[in-house]
Amino acid sequence: MSSSPTPVAPLPAVSPRQRVRTVLVVDDSAFMRRVISDVVATASQEFRVVGTARDGLDALRQIHALEPDIVTLDIEMPELDGLQTLGYIMAETPRPVVMLSAAGAPGSADLTIRALELGAVDFVRKPMGPLSLDLSSVREQLVGALRAASCVNLQGVSVLARPPVGTLTGEPLVADTAAWVVVIAASTGGPRALSEIVPALPADLGAAVLIVQHMPGGFTKSLAQRLDALSTLRVCEAESGMPIQHNRVYIARGGFHMRVARGAAGPTLALDAGPAIWGVRPAADPLFRSAAQAFGSRVVGAVLTGMGRDGAEGLRAVRDAGGQAVVQDQMTSIIYGMPQAALATAGADRVAALPDVAVALRELLESGRAYHALRGART
């Protein structure tokens, strides 16, 4: 997501034919409305602030009056808060929304994750501390988020619906060392997609699930807790040295790459703060490649919605090792960049609409296990 602490390329000049996107800035603080408006005005010629609103009710009135292309929306506001306002926007007058999150505020990470589930494109942490030191970072994050918002497929947002939560059948399962893994890459729109996919996976999946969601530190723990509450599979934020076990979901920690390592007792997770790859950390390519090296053909990879091409080379490594691949389709991708790059680079065994991704993962795991069992019986 654009909120990751990664470098942004110098802003290009806008051609005369490029349409300037209008932005409505919503915040209960007059100071923050001015700061965000100034950042947008001075950061890029691609966007123009068309108005400001002091709370959720004012925002809804302004949206109907001004018809902005994009809305920046504070999460915590009096009367109608950011989540309630977002719900009205997506239900009544859908458009790309970028959330503004107060870094370090109690509960802000949980509220941000919920906003991304509800359809917000991205989030930006507000300036904290000495304003002059934060504005450069905020500028990069906000322009990146607004550019992502400009590419959003709103039809993809509108078709999403959470499937029933999977249920465990038979005796409770022991969390043994994983022999099979599912690796997933996601970026812009990813938290919403993951909230559809992970709860639809059964508790007896018979594989570990390793997920890279482009997200800065401080938010991936809330994402893991949210998915854990929705799912029958246990979900946690990854830590170095964790054993990789069946029927567990591991979310890469924000700010750290996650890889599969070989331990004395079996595969484990390894985290490192090495250089960003494709401008992001965590990146999916290192995870996919290491999973392919460790598990060979016992890997199923999936590349979901997002900007850029992270996951494309990694998915090719998975398929080269004999593993299988799922790519989210264009219709249900909030942004089709990552799936499109993965499909062009690696191909796929399945191209699936979001509601069908969990089913595709289960079926590919089942077919892979059946193939291995048959091959073993013949040798």
Average pLDDT over residues 303-309: 96
To the nearest whole number, what is the mean pLDDT of the chain?
88
Please tell me whether residues 205 and 114 are part of one structural domain: no
Q: pLDDT tens digit string along 112-140?
A: 999 999 999 999 988 665 555 566 778 88
Q: Residue 210: what are its φ and ψ, rounded to 5°?
A: -115, 125
| 13: in domain | no
| 84: in domain | yes
* Predicted TM-score (pTM) of this structure: 0.88
Please tell me whether residues 196 and 144 are part of one structural domain: no
pLDDT for 103 equals 64
Determine whether 31 is exposed, middle or buried from the number of CB atoms within 10 Å of its CB (0-12, 13-18, 19+): exposed
Please tell me whether residues 144 and 235 are part of one structural domain: no
| 14: in domain | no
Contact 249, 237 (CB under 8 A): no
Q: pLDDT tens digit string along 44-56?
A: 789 999 999 999 9
Using pLDDT thresholds of 50, 70 and 90, give the confidence band for residue 104: low
Please tell me whether residues 223 and 338 are part of one structural domain: yes
| 1: in domain | no
Please tell me whether residues 130 and 225 are part of one structural domain: no
**pLDDT above 80: residue 8:** no
| 343: in domain | yes
**pLDDT above 80: residue 152:** yes
Please tell me whether residues 210 and 335 are part of one structural domain: yes
Q: What is the DSSP letter of 372?
A: H
| 2: in domain | no
Among the listed ranges 72-81, 276-285, 311-320, which one has the minimum average pLDDT value? 72-81
What is the Cα–Cα distance from 345 to 362, expressed in whole angstroms?
A: 23
Where is the domain boundary, 152, 170, 190?
152
Where is the domain boundary, 133, 152, 171?
152
Contact 178, 32 (CB under 8 A): no
The residues pairing with 237 across neighbouring beta strands, listed in sequence order, are 251
Which residue type does 344 have? Answer: A
Please tell me whether residues 356 and 248 are part of one structural domain: yes
State the residue range of the domain holding 27. 21-152
Measured CA angle at 283 (ends 309, 165), to 5 deg: 95
Please tell me whether residues 209 and 276 are part of one structural domain: yes
| 303: in domain | yes
- Domain with residue 106: its CATH number is 3.40.50.2300
Positions marked active-site: 187, 214, 310
Please tell me whether residues 196 and 306 are part of one structural domain: yes
CA atoms within 13 A on the CB side of 45: 10
Total domains in the chain come to 2
Among the listed ranges 43-52, 81-90, 204-213, 337-346, which one has the minimum average pLDDT value? 43-52
| 247: in domain | yes
Among the listed ranges 41-45, 192-196, 353-357, which one has the minimum average pLDDT value? 41-45
Percent of the chain residues past pLDDT 70, beyond the cut: 85
What is the Cα–Cα distance from 71 to 98, expressed in whole angstroms?
A: 6
**pLDDT above 50: residue 11:** no
Please tell me whether residues 202 and 143 are part of one structural domain: no
- Domain with residue 360: its CATH number is 3.40.50.180
More confident residue, 31 or 52: 52
Please tell me whether residues 139 and 191 are part of one structural domain: no
Please tell me whether residues 127 and 195 are part of one structural domain: no
pLDDT for 198 equals 97
